[in-house]
């Protein structure tokens, strides 16, 4: 029984320094050995995410009826974030993230799952609501982020 208790503690001790050194975000982080939250059905999704760590980000190929097709926000460094949508509306969302120990991202990039909820939407984006989720591949050395291939940013 003692052997089973030691392994999780050893893994946790190794992961915590890696999460702090690989991705610097101001939200609390945890590390897990599984691949985060399951996708959920959402009225608003975006197929693309581009930008940098701590700089302006863009979501695009989004549900046109609720967003106008794209949106911009200051970055995934501080929660809450505010997306300004192409249709003139906006959405505020709170989030936390988890840096995963086993990444599905290509080329050794770091996989990060983002979960949270929309706390307020205004204007033509007022229908954007509910849970928020995304699986992001982060390149710490280049300072860039993108969605994991085949996933969506859901609002």
CB 110 within 8 A of CB 92: no
Among 8-12, 66-70, 136-140, whose mean pLDDT is lowest?
8-12
Q: What is the pLDDT of residues 111-122, one digit of tens each?
A: 999 999 999 999
Q: Pairing between strand 130-139 and 110-122?
A: antiparallel
Cross-strand partners of 91: 83, 121
* Rounded average pLDDT over 32-57: 69
Q: What band does 136 get if pLDDT is binned at 50, 70 and 90? A: very high
> What's the Cα-to-Cα distance from 95 to each of 65, 75, 118, 130, rounded to whole Å?
24, 12, 9, 12
Question: What residue segments make up the domains of the chain, in order of their start?
Answer: 2-154
Lookup result for tokens 């939200």: 27
Q: What angle do CA 115, 112, 120 make, to 5 degrees?
A: 25
d(C-alpha 100, C-alpha 35), whole Å: 7
């Amino acid at each position: 029984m003692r052997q089973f208790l030691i392994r999780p503690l050893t893994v946790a001790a190794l992961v915590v320094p890696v999460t702090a050194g690989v991705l610097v975000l101001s939200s609390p982080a945890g590390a897990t050995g599984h691949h985060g939250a399951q996708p959920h059905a959402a009225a608003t999704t975006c197929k693309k995410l581009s930008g940098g760590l701590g700089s302006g980000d863009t979501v695009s190929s989004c549900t046109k009826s609720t967003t106008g097709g794209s949106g911009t926000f200051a970055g995934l460094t501080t929660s809450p974030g505010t997306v300004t949508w192409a249709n003139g509306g906006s959405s505020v969302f709170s989030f936390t993230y988890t840096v995963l120990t086993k990444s599905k991202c290509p080329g050794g990039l770091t996989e990060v799952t983002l979960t949270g909820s929309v706390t307020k939407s205004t204007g033509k984006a007022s229908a954007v609501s509910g849970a928020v989720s995304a699986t992001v591949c982060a390149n710490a050395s280049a300072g860039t982020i993108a969605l994991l291939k085949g996933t969506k940013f859901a609002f």
